[in-house]
Structure 1
Amino acid sequence: MRRRSDRRTFTVVGFVPVSGQPVQVREDLLVQVGEEGLHELTERLQIDELVIAPDERRGGLPMEQMLQCVQQGISVIDLSSFFEREAGMVQLNAVDPSWLVFSGGFDYSTPRRLSKRFFDLLAAGALLLVSWPLMIVVGVAVWMESGGPVFYSQTRVGERGRHFTLTKFRSMRVDAEKGGVAVWASKDDDRSTRVGRFIRKTRLDELPQLIAVLRGDMSFVGPRPERPQFVDMLNDEVRYYGVRHSVKPGLTGWAQLRYPYGASVRDAEEKLKFDLFYVKNHGLVFDLMILLQTVEVVLFGRGAR
């Protein structure tokens, strides 16, 4: 978060070294506590919040002085929660399983499940009602260009690892995956047809997924559903990747808005930071915000491949 645009909501006053741990910050940015104590230092510098970010917590943190800071109304937050709040993502190299367990979120209560299902039915039903004439036009265009199947179906991984069938308008050649080997789509993919490039850019190829939302296999908002071959590989390569399957995959999602199309293990790891944020913090208002931002993405064609 070195860019000024990433720090619009806070100002870093300085860094306080932790006793017995190596200093990883430039010396001119350090603030020495000295004899006055941490609570008096924060009062003198008019600090609103302390972010705790040591490499090792046991035995090095001045807990008594931090307690005095809390009693003065100063907020104390750990680095993982700070990243989550300020950047809208879960920083994978700064979290451990205990933080995921005790940091809250993961609302799977009955009221939340009912509100999410109602939102899915309302949003998917309304979009299907408006878009069905356009879907007919897209289907005819796909058939006229190549004469092949209008739709294609793939097995994807859904909630709790269950497999389901996902259907889209066909945007690539019929022989795009010879031998059935799963291949990530790439920028300017030469397997795409002319109509396919257009409907992928405008996201029209994804309209048939509305049926999966109405069926209950997908949600309108959630992590992108991936193919079983990719999921098996990414579960081995990327820590916490399986956590994203604790909710239904979505037609759109937080990671799709915040990160461009992923076509590698590194991309999957970057997108997981935003998927985990959504999994921990999903709610009706958040879903509505993502839906509104998705309209902007579709209108300007950002992130499609």
Structure 2
Amino acid sequence: MDVTYPYERRHSRWYEQLLLGLPFQVLVGLPLVIALPALERWGWGFWQTMPDYRLNTIVAIGLAFVAITLCLRRFARFPGVQVAAYILPTVSLAFLVVVAILFFTREEYTRQVLFTGYLASLLWFFAGYFIGRRYRRMKIAVVPVGNALQLKPTARIELRQLGTPEPDGTRYDAIVADLRSEDLGAEWEKFLAQCTLCRIPVYHVRQMHESITGRVQVDHLSENEFGSLLPSAMYGGLKRCADLLGALLLLPALAPIMLLTALAIRKDSPGPALFLQERMGYRGVPFKVYKFRSMYIDREGKGFTDGDDDPRITPVGKVIRKYRLDELPQLFNVLKGEMSFIGPRPESMQLSEWYERDVPFFRYRHVVRPGISGWAQVEQGYAAEVDGMTTKLQYDFYYIKHFSLWLDVLVLFKTVKTVFTGNGAR
């Protein structure tokens, strides 16, 4: 008995999967990015003789290309990410890493070919992004019942409300519905079951809201993507090692900047250069956070910073806050294991106690180490700490739920952009 499927998923045909998927990158992009630089430098037949310097160079380009492909594909899954903005930093970082590995292992390689491979990779990924941009806007069908009606489209997601539980001739990437709505009748349930049989993903409205906004609703605790409230212990350990290594490498390099910043603060206004404050830390253990002082010591305030126009902020303080220089002493907190480079920002003890009275599961954000920068900071900002408490928690819970290398690298790129431009979420 032949079975026919009335619905077809968008981009499900074999040629669409080949052109838009990972196989095309590996089967076409990788050989091109390796072969073009090699041909330009070594000529035809370069593969017939493969001395160490050629092999090392080709392997380095290949590893960098694969790492770039995986990173960009993972970045594209996070809400609000314009992949084009991360092609240059991702390609540059990948090639810097392979060059560093070759340098420290003292392996021979050809600089010209490696650099040409870098340029070829930039060209390939930028061309692929702009050529395939129109196909990357997801087309989602919405079952017009319950909370699904509240979803809003974005630049990356097109939402189309369905009129009836019947095929409308359009191929969709996915279907979204309020699966807990009492108004979801038998006909819509049958329709959703048929879509699943046709390999079209069906998402609950909460999942789609999370994908669009980058926030997890905080009316209850939310498990991570592996179904547990506890983030990955293995990645947590690896991240701690990376934090320690990063702090040891950055401290000597940033010491002159920290010294000049401290001198500028002392000259600008009376008082110490450092500001110490007790904050709630990892697993609910209080610790003292180190920051460069950005306020006058003899002016009263609300207990939390009221934006960049707060009259307590000194002239030098405005500059160091804009470029995040006031956060540099927290490298010592990272060394001590009290903080990480990336994680939820630690709140003062006063604010933490105030939050816990209104949000019983506020303490859950302490399941990972607090960070110098975090998902909430690059998306929402540093200001309006009290008024934006709920939104900040939603971002923090999203970070904990998706606790991973990919999200940390994305936050790192966004933070570096803010530091060098002085612009971005505050």
Judge conservation of contact 1:160–1:246 (CA < 8 Å) in 2. Answer: yes
TM-aligned CA distance change 1:22 to 1:288, over 3 Å: closer
Deviation at residue 22 of structure 1 after TM alignment: 12
1:9 aligns with 2:137: yes
Q: Which residue of 1 aligns with 2:19?
A: none
Of 136-145 and 82-91, more deviation after overlay is shown by 82-91
Deviation at residue 69 of structure 1 after TM alignment: 1.9
Question: Any gaps of 5 or more consecutive residues in structure 1?
Answer: none
Judge conservation of contact 1:107–1:281 (CA < 8 Å) in 2. Answer: no
TM-aligned CA distance change 1:169 to 1:304, over 3 Å: farther
Deviation at residue 67 of structure 1 after TM alignment: 2.4
TM-score by length of 2: 0.59
1:31 aligns with 2:154: no
* Distance in 2 (alpha carbons) for counterparts of 1:60 and 1:235: 40
* 3-state SS, counterpart of residue 188 of structure 1: coil
Q: How does 1:184-223 map to 2 (within 5 A)?
A: 184-223=305-344
Deviation at residue 107 of structure 1 after TM alignment: 5.5
Judge conservation of contact 1:200–1:304 (CA < 8 Å) in 2. Answer: no
Residue of 365, 368, 376 corresponding to 1:244: 365
1:70 aligns with 2:196: yes
Structure number with greater CO (CA < 8 Å, separation at least 6) is: 1
Judge conservation of contact 1:90–1:276 (CA < 8 Å) in 2. Answer: yes
Number of aligned residues: 285
Q: Which residue of 1 aligns with 2:177?
A: 52
1:232 aligns with 2:360: no
* 3-state SS, counterpart of residue 377 of structure 2: helix
Deviation at residue 264 of structure 1 after TM alignment: 4.3
TM-aligned CA distance change 1:293 to 1:45, over 3 Å: same
Q: Which residue of 2 aligns with 1:119?
A: 242
Judge conservation of contact 1:186–1:263 (CA < 8 Å) in 2. Answer: yes
Deviation at residue 24 of structure 1 after TM alignment: 7.4
Q: Which residue of 1 aligns with 2:375?
A: 254
Deviation at residue 58 of structure 1 after TM alignment: 8.8
* 3-state SS, counterpart of residue 11 of structure 1: strand
Give, as a single letter, the amino acid of the residue that structure 2 aligns with 1:293: K
Q: Which residue of 1 aligns with 2:11?
A: none
Judge conservation of contact 2:231–2:400 (CA < 8 Å) in 1. Answer: no
Judge conservation of contact 2:144–2:177 (CA < 8 Å) in 1. Answer: no
Q: How does 1:226-305 map to 2 (within 5 A)?
A: 226-238=347-359, 240-302=361-423
Deviation per CA, 1:239-274: give whole Å up to 9, x if none.
743322211110011111111223243312222221
* Distance in 1 (alpha carbons) for counterparts of 2:308 and 2:261: 22
Give, as a single letter, the amino acid of the residue that structure 2 aligns with 1:51: V
* Distance in 2 (alpha carbons) for counterparts of 1:80 and 1:303: 28
TM-aligned CA distance change 1:141 to 1:14, over 3 Å: closer
TM-aligned CA distance change 1:268 to 1:23, over 3 Å: closer
Question: Any gaps of 5 or more consecutive residues in structure 2?
Answer: 1-79, 83-133, 152-159
TM-score by length of 1: 0.81
Deviation per CA, 1:143-175: give whole Å up to 9, x if none.
122242111100001122211001111111112
* Distance in 2 (alpha carbons) for counterparts of 1:104 and 1:192: 44
* Distance in 2 (alpha carbons) for counterparts of 1:203 and 1:257: 12
Deviation at residue 208 of structure 1 after TM alignment: 0.4
| Aligned Cα root-mean-square deviation (Å) | 3.2
Deviation at residue 23 of structure 1 after TM alignment: 7.8
* 3-state SS, counterpart of residue 142 of structure 1: helix
* Distance in 2 (alpha carbons) for counterparts of 1:257 and 1:216: 23
Deviation at residue 137 of structure 1 after TM alignment: 0.7
Percentage of matched positions with identical amino acids: 35
Judge conservation of contact 2:175–2:200 (CA < 8 Å) in 1. Answer: yes
TM-aligned CA distance change 1:302 to 1:22, over 3 Å: closer
Deviation per CA, 1:187-214: give whole Å up to 9, x if none.
3111111211111111111110010011
Q: Which residue of 2 aligns with 1:168?
A: 291
Deviation at residue 227 of structure 1 after TM alignment: 0.5
Deviation at residue 186 of structure 1 after TM alignment: 2.5
* Distance in 1 (alpha carbons) for counterparts of 2:233 and 2:393: 26
Give, as a single letter, the amino acid of the residue that structure 1 aligns with 2:285: R
